[in-house]
């Protein structure tokens, strides 16, 4: 439960927090965000998350609301005020508020910043990881700049809902060539029969996942080979293992794709090993 949320300079009780009715985040999804895992009251991979936030802001020419150092202080305060030990921090920066106009506003408009911290039900991801999850493939109908972490998430929301109705927890989007791009809110991975990890190379069709980068570090420390290249749905169905990565899941085994069992139909040893080692290799920093 979130009790206190930071909005534009003040920590407010939820019922009292508000943003402008003509905020561009609300009207145009003119906004970016980050989700950072909190572990034992500390941040996981904060340096990489802050760098990606900075890049998202620069790509869209949205002004940074404050320095990274100041933002980390706000994040720490949100974690403490909400007494979050294990959970997440969510931060969103919008271009700001002004009379609705498609043209970008001048530099006098100040960006909006919202930071919240919350703890989901304890151990939910570990429980899910014991059995693994099912995913459903769907045509990727998102825009051409999925490398920017914008709040323009409606295609992901609708696709995830369709997946849920089919008994799957996540979507794997498929591009026009039949290759898997990524999940609605995660990156997609497979393990080949030879034990090689495969994930799509970074391009404008996928988010450069921070957990994806962390898992590549873990793989290197385990001397596992990683290939960054497109892989088709057919190749995924024949894979020895499959899994997804995100700040909220770390490494989550995928045991079925479109109702077809992957490998033995249970979490594979490589996904389990990467999951168990992830936090040993990730940057964990106090706030
Ligand atoms: N989602 N791809 C998409 C489209 C995502 O939305 C996310 C993260 C990822 C994984 O990125 P990372 O490893 O940095 O979390 C990949 C977050 C968790 C969310 O929207 O809640």
Longest CA span, the chain: 58
| CA nearest ligand 1 atom 9, residue | 186
What distance in angstroms lies between residue 185's CA and the mean position of ligand 1's atoms? Answer: 4
Counting from 1 in the atom list of ligand 1, the atom nearest the Cα of 90 is 21
Contact 277, 139 (CB under 8 A): no
Ligand 1 centre from 221 Cα, in Å?
23
Q: Please give the distance, rounded to the nearest whole angstrom, from the Cα atom of residue 205 to the centre of ligand 1.
A: 13
Strand partners, 261: 256
pLDDT at 40: 97
Cα 67 to averaged position of ligand 1 atoms, centre (Å): 23
Q: Could you tell me what percentage of the chain is helix, strand and coil, using 3-state DSSP and rounding each to the nearest 5? A: 30, 30, 40
Domains of the chain, start order: 4-121 (3.30.470.10), 125-285 (3.20.10.10)
pTM above 0.75, yes or no: yes
CB 218 within 8 A of CB 212: no
> Which residues of the chain are under the pLDDT cut of 50?
none
**Shortest CA distance to 6 belongs to which of 117, 84, 149?**
117
Pocket of ligand 1, candidates 207, 275, 278: which has the most ligand atoms within 8 Å of its Cβ, to mutate? 207
Of 31, 33, 35, the one to substitute when testing ligand 1's pocket (max ligand atoms within 8 A of C-beta) is 35
Closest C-alpha residue for ligand 1 atom 2: 186
The question of whether 149 is a catalytic residue gets the answer: yes
Cα(272)–Cα(270) distance, integer angstroms:
5
Model pLDDT, residue 2: 67
∠ CA 63-151-286 to the nearest 5 degrees? 70
**First CA to last CA across the chain, in angstroms?**
20
273 exposure class (CB count in 10 Å sphere: 0-12, 13-18, 19+): middle
Active site residue: 61, 130, 136, 149, which one?
149
CA of 56 to the centre of ligand 1 (A): 13
pLDDT given for residue 121 in this prediction: 87
- Dump strand ranges (E) for 51-108: 87-94
Q: How far apart are CA 129 and CA 131, in angstroms?
A: 5
**What is the C-alpha separation between 49 and 285, in angstroms, rounded?**
12
Instruction: Give the Cα separation of 5 and 17 in Å (integer).
Output: 7
As a residue count, the chain comes to 287
Protein residue whose Cα sits closest to atom 11 of ligand 1: 209
Instruction: Write out residues with Cβ below 6 Å of ligand 1.
Output: 35, 182, 185-187, 207, 209-212, 245-248
pLDDT of residue 259: 98
Measure the CA–CA gap between 119 and 79, rounded to whole angstroms: 9
Question: In whole angstroms, what is the distance from residue 250 CA to residue 214 CA?
Answer: 9
Chain segment 128-179, per-residue pLDDT in tens? 999 999 999 999 999 999 999 999 999 999 999 999 999 999 999 999 999 9
């Amino acid at each position: 439960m979130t009790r206190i949320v930071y909005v534009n300079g003040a920590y407010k009780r939820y019922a009292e927090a508000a943003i402008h009715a003509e905020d561009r985040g609300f009207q145009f999804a003119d906004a970016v965000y980050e989700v950072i895992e909190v572990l034992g009251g500390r941040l996981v991979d904060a340096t990489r998350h802050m760098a990606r936030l900075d890049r998202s802001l620069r790509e869209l020419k949205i002004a940074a609301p404050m320095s990274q150092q100041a933002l980390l202080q706000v994040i720490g305060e949100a974690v403490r005020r909400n007494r979050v030990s294990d959970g997440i921090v969510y931060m969103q920066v919008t271009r700001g508020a002004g009379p609705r106009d498609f043209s970008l506003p001048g530099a006098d408009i100040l960006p909006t910043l919202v930071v919240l911290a919350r703890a989901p039900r304890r151990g939910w991801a570990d429980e899910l990881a014991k059995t693994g999850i099912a995913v459903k493939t769907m045509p990727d109908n998102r825009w051409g700049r999925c490398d920017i972490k914008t709040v323009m998430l409606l295609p992901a929301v609708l696709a995830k809902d369709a997946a849920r109705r089919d008994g799957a927890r996540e979507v794997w989007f498929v591009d026009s060539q039949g290759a898997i791009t990524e999940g609605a809110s995660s990156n997609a991975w497979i393990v080949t029969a030879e034990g090689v990890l495969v994930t799509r190379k970074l391009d404008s069709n996928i988010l450069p996942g921070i957990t994806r980068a962390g898992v590549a570090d873990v793989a290197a420390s385990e001397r596992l080979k990683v290939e960054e290249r497109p892989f088709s749905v057919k190749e995924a169905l024949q894979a020895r293992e499959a899994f997804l990565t995100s700040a909220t899941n770390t490494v989550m085994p995928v045991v079925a794709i479109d109702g077809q069992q992957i490998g033995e139909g249970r979490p594979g040893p490589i996904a389990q090993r990467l999951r168990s080692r992830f936090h040993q290799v990730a940057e964990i920093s106090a706030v």
